[in-house]
């Protein structure tokens, strides 16, 4: 009797876990097949789709936002996220910190996400790194002259000296290491602002990709404030059609030529243009239209990459928009009539592919 009862319990447990295992197996198979495609050889004509999350104000993230990111991940298991995490989470009290860390690590382990870095020049972060805090200029003003932001949020990182930048990068790397996130490879400063000096410093500190090139034009979607255009470092050579490029030693723009900024792995620092702009600026239709431009480009035989971007604090608000666009990409990636390969990849995976193509 006792034995029968145990057997029944075991059968019930086994039954329950078998269902789980089938779900898990299916997911693992999907992931494995997606990785296989990525490592396979292609002779051009691939559209890589990257999806980056920006952690701007981790303390404002709600459980609904976290759930939105989790649901996007579950609904679209082929996505290879690049989470641009912000170490300000360790200098400003962040209520959901533990849940955020758990999500990021699960993303890394189960869904092959990359964890990169996003920095805004908040007082707690800047001072935590042992650097004197600045409140000017601001990229969110009518003009750069006389502009300021007491929170530091809109102050470009490029307003700091090279030595200060190095200290902030060292502080960031130490935080990532102590929290078990490994060594980050992809970097993006707040508001996509950068400079030749900042690009040189990130390469010096082990980063290999920059996710900063941002289209300043109004061809598609909204734009940043006027002072951003003066301070961000970008010009109209960056567009929604831009493709990944090696960063020159003489300019951060896509028009640059060799010699390129070298990184720790002996290959150049690569820019993955943020050609789909960011969540609040674009509609789902805008993003699909940009993806279509890149599909047309790839039909001519060359590879390219599009980058979708969502903020942590508005993940719930923009869930439907991104879920819709990702479904569109999922369909493109499975549709043989598209003629080109459409494939999700992290920023670092895109860089690795392009380094092969450039050889």
Question: Would you say how long the chain is, in residues?
Answer: 359
SS3 call for 288: helix
- Indicate the residue among 137 and 190 with the shorter CB distance to Zn ion: 190
Question: Does residue 49 contact residue 343 with C-beta atoms inside 8 Å?
Answer: yes
List Cβ neighbours of 313 (8 Å cut-off, separation of 6 or more). Answer: 56, 57, 60, 61, 62, 65
Q: Which is nearer to Zn ion, 31 or 281 (CB)?
A: 281
Using the minimum distance from each CB to Zn ion, give the nearer residue, 214 or 260: 214
Judged by beta carbon, residue 117 or residue 345, the one nearer Zn ion is 117
Choose one: 16-24, 156-164, 187-195, 247-255; the region binding Zn ion (CB under 5 A).
187-195
Q: Quick one: 56 or 330, whose CB is closer to Zn ion?
A: 56
- Min separation Cβ 358 and Zn ion, Å: 29
Q: How far is the CB of 211 from Zn ion (least distance, A)?
A: 11
The span from the CA of 37 to the CA of 53, in Å, is 24
Three-class DSSP category at 81: strand
Minimum CB separation of residue 54 from Zn ion in Å reads 5
Tell me how far apart the alpha carbons of residues 50 and 37 are, in angstroms, rounded to a whole number: 15
149 binds Zn ion (CB under 5 A): no
Count of residues interacting with Zn ion (CB under 5 A) = 3
Shortest Å, Cβ 153 to Zn ion: 8
Tokens of 356: 């092969």
Would you say 190 or 256 has its CB closer to Zn ion?
190
Complex with Zn ion: residue 157 or 352, whichever CB lies closer: 157
Distance in Å, CB of 156 to Zn ion, minimum: 11
User: Which residues have CB under 8 Å from 163's CB, separation 6+?
Assistant: none
Tokens of 10: 């075991």
d(CA 72, CA 86): 20
Minimum CB distance to Zn ion smaller for 215 or for 256:
215
How far is 192 from 238, CA to CA, in rounded Å? Answer: 12
In the bound state, the residue with its beta carbon closest to Zn ion is 56
DSSP bridge pairs for 251: none
Min dist CB 255 to Zn ion, Å, is 26
CB of 317 to Zn ion, least distance (A): 16
Q: For the CA atoms of the chain, what is the radius of gyration?
A: 21
C-alpha 343 chain-centroid distance: 16
Judged by CB under 5 A, which stretch of 46-54, 241-249, 284-292, 351-359 contacts Zn ion? 46-54
What is the C-alpha to C-alpha distance for residues 318 and 71, in angstroms, rounded to an integer?
12
* Beta carbons of 282 and 274 less than 8 angstroms apart: no
| Helix (H/G/I), strand (E/B), else coil: 160 | coil
CB 55, min distance to Zn ion, A: 8
Interaction between residue 190 and Zn ion (CB under 5 A): yes
Minimum distance, C-beta of residue 9 to Zn ion, in the bound complex (Å): 51
Please check whether residue 67 is in contact with residue 102, taking contact to mean a CB–CB distance below 8 angstroms. Answer: no
Between residues 190 and 221, which has the closer beta carbon with respect to Zn ion?
190
Residue (34 or 50) nearer to Zn ion, CB = 50
Rounded to whole angstroms, the Cα distance separating 244 from 258 reads: 15
Instruction: Confirm or reject binding of residue 54 to Zn ion (CB under 5 A).
Output: yes
Q: How far is the CB of 56 from Zn ion (least distance, A)?
A: 4
Nearest-angstrom CA–CA distance, 68 and 175: 26
> Restricting to residues 66-125, which ones interact with Zn ion according to CB under 5 A?
none
CB-based contact 76:310 (threshold 8 Å): no
Stretch that binds Zn ion, among 53-61, 67-75, 165-173, 284-292 (CB under 5 A): 53-61
Residue ranges binding Zn ion (CB under 5 A)? 54, 56, 190
């Amino acid at each position: 009797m006792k034995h029968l009862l145990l057997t029944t319990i075991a059968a019930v447990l086994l039954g329950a876990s078998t269902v789980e295992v089938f779900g898990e197996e299916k997911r693992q198979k999907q992931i494995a097949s997606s990785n296989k495609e990525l490592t396979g050889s292609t002779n051009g004509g691939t559209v890589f789709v990257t999806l980056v999350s920006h952690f701007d104000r981790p303390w404002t993230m709600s459980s609904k936002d976290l759930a939105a990111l989790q649901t996007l991940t579950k609904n679209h298991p082929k996505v290879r996220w690049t989470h641009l995490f912000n170490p300000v989470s360790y200098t400003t009290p962040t209520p959901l910190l533990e849940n955020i860390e758990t999500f990021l690590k699960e993303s890394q382990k189960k869904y092959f996400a990359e964890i990169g870095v996003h920095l805004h020049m908040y007082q707690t972060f800047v001072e935590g790194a042992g650097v004197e805090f600045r409140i000017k200029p601001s990229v969110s003003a009518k003009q750069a002259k006389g502009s300021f932001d007491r929170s530091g949020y809109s102050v470009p990182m490029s307003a700091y000296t090279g030595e200060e930048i190095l200290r902030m990068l060292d502080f960031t790397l130490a935080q990532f290491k102590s929290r078990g996130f490994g060594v980050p490879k992809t970097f993006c400063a707040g508001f996509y602002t950068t400079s030749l000096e900042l690009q040189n410093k990130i390469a010096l500190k082990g980063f290999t990709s920059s996710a900063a090139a941002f289209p300043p034009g109004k061809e598609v979607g909204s734009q940043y404030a006027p002072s951003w255009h003066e301070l961000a470092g970008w010009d109209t050579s960056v567009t929604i059609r831009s493709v990944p490029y090696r960063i020159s030693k003489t300019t951060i723009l896509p028009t640059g030529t060799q010699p390129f900024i070298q990184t720790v792995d002996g290959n150049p620092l690569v820019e993955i243009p943020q050609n789909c702009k960011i969540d609040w600026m674009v509609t789902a239709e805008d993003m699909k239209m940009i993806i279509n431009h890149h599909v047309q480009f790839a039909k001519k035989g060359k590879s390219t990459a599009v980058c979708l971007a969502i903020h942590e604090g508005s993940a719930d608000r923009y869930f439907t928009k991104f879920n819709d666009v990702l479904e569109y990409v999922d369909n493109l990636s499975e549709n043989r009539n598209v003629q080109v390969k459409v494939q999700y990849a992290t920023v670092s995976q895109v860089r690795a592919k392009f380094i092969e193509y450039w050889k």
